[in-house]
Amino acid sequence: MRFKYTISLVFIVALVIIEKENNIISRVSDKLTRRQIPRIPEPSNFSRLALLKQHGSYASLSKLDSEFKHLKRRLDNYTKKMDNLQRGKKHIILMASTRTGSSFVGQFFNQQGKNMFYLYEPLWHVDTMLMLKTGQTNQSALAKAHRDVLQELLLCDFTLLESFIQPHPKNHITTTLFRRESSKSLCEKPVCSPFVKQVVERYPCNTRLCGPLNLTLASKSCHQKEYRAIKTVRVRQLGNLRPLVENPSLDVKFIQLVRDPRAVLASRMVAFSAKYKNWKKWAVNTGVSLHDVELKKLKANCDEIRASAELGLKQPDWLQRRYMLVRYEDIARYPMQKAAEMYGFTGIPFTPQVKQWILKNTQASKEARGVYSTQKNSAEHVEKWRFSIPFKLAKIVQQVCGSAMKLFGYRFVNNETMLTDKSISLIEEKNFK
């Protein structure tokens, strides 16, 4: 009898936990209706008695203990979700493609201050691992992996990302996180080793002095921050990220960064010289087929960018007030204004640290600039590409990326003279709202 009484008592406690969970959800249901938090049905008196009889008479104590733990985990998960929402956590995804100035713009968030947790290209590990395993890119599997990893990282969970890092982290410690030094949060206390505190404060992103990255400490640091931002050039379609918006644990907003595809090509030919050797040949030869694989890749890239922007600008119900389109050219010409607009969109404070960084890094000297540098004279940099590729290549880009260029407000050029005439602006004034 004592055994049955103990089991019954434990199960009653479990039922109390369920009711507590329901009460939590009920109290915030009006506030969070649009987040569609699933409600857990309250058991009827009859079902309670039936369950109590079943567990009091037949169930083993170990099975009941397992069910009790499961119920407690559910309560803990919902409590964490409510805590996230009540404390005003904000999540930002900066979407772009390579050589669109995303590293530069990403620093607008990385420099926000002590309350920002910023990650630079964590999806690099996903693409690298899947390519090593399959030798090819499965777009469907890639899109799902991207979405799942982003979701877990925005919730400060590095477990899934760890499965893609090579070599695999030991005890959640790795030396190979891609461009760790681009994230201030991963180079400061408590993530950076405390024994080099004085040196780290002077050189905040010297990863050699910080030592291996402890992802457990990174997760802890992330949880302590109110704002979390991720910069990625690997998400192909905005629509694939809809589950992130519908996740009640997240308050996510998307900023899509675009750039004139002619300027992107000119920059890629310099940064990725080996991969763009065909384009360099075409620059001096006349024979170019629109059916060439390189042109098909460029067209597919432009079409994906355009499709995501069209979806975002339509503002479907699930994306209301969660999408912002920004041109790199506008940021380069009006960096402070556009940074303020992006911060206003996200609802994150536009701090003096960000303003100071922008002033310093949009008026850099020639000696401070480089292919991968975030320091540049931004207004001057906007027009530089017009003198680095011949008209024939600009014309090809216009043929395959014309729809995207029209949507984003980039004017076509008709000849070499127009291309290099800086008195003719190739940027239409547009308001993407």
Q: Residue 136 has what pLDDT?
A: 60
Q: Beta strand 116-120 with 90-95: parallel, antiparallel or unpaired?
A: unpaired
Classify residue 30 by its DSSP letter. T
CA distance 102 to 107: 9
Domain 90-384, second-level architecture: 3-Layer(aba) Sandwich (3.40)
Give the model confidence (pLDDT) of 278-329 as tens digits: 888 888 876 677 678 889 999 999 999 999 999 999 999 999 999 999 999 9
CA distance 21 to 79: 8
- Helix (H) / strand (E) containing 330: helix 328-333
Classify residue 112 by its DSSP letter. S
Instruction: State the number of CA atoms in the 13 A half-sphere of 345 facing the CB.
Output: 24
Give the model confidence (pLDDT) of 152-182 as tens digits: 999 999 999 999 999 999 999 999 999 999 9
Q: What is the token pair recorded at 76?
A: 């803990």
Q: Report which of 179, 157, 178, 177 is spatially closest to residue 169, judged by C-alpha positions.
A: 177
Q: Where are the domains of the chain?
A: 2-86, 90-384
CA distance 150 to 147: 5
Local structure of 173: helix, strand or coil: strand
Local structure of 97: helix, strand or coil: coil
Q: CB–CB of 177/186 below 8 Å?
A: yes
Q: What is the token pair recorded at 198?
A: 């004085």
Helix, strand and coil percent figures for the chain, each rounded to 5: 60, 10, 30
Q: Residue 192 has what pLDDT?
A: 85
Q: Residue 42 has what pLDDT?
A: 42
Q: Residue 330 has what pLDDT?
A: 96
Report the amino acid identity of residue 324.
M
Find tokens 């405390």 and name the residue: 194
Apex 255 CA angle, 251 and 256, nearest 5: 140
pTM of the model: 0.77
Considering only residues 262 and 14, tell me which one the structure prediction assigns the higher pLDDT. Answer: 262
CA distance 74 to 200: 40
User: What does the pLDDT average to over 64-93?
Assistant: 67
CA distance 206 to 177: 14
**Ranges assigned E (strand) in 183-243:** 213-214, 227-232
Question: Distances in Å between the alpha carbon of 42 and those of 75, 135, 147, 202?
Answer: 14, 50, 33, 57
Q: CB–CB of 232/306 below 8 Å?
A: no
Considering only residues 77 and 230, tell me which one the structure prediction assigns the higher pLDDT. Answer: 230
Rg (CA), the chain: 26
- Start-to-end CA span in the chain (Å): 70
pLDDT of 357 above 70? yes
User: What does the pLDDT average to over 326-355?
Assistant: 97
Averaged pLDDT score across all residues of the chain: 81
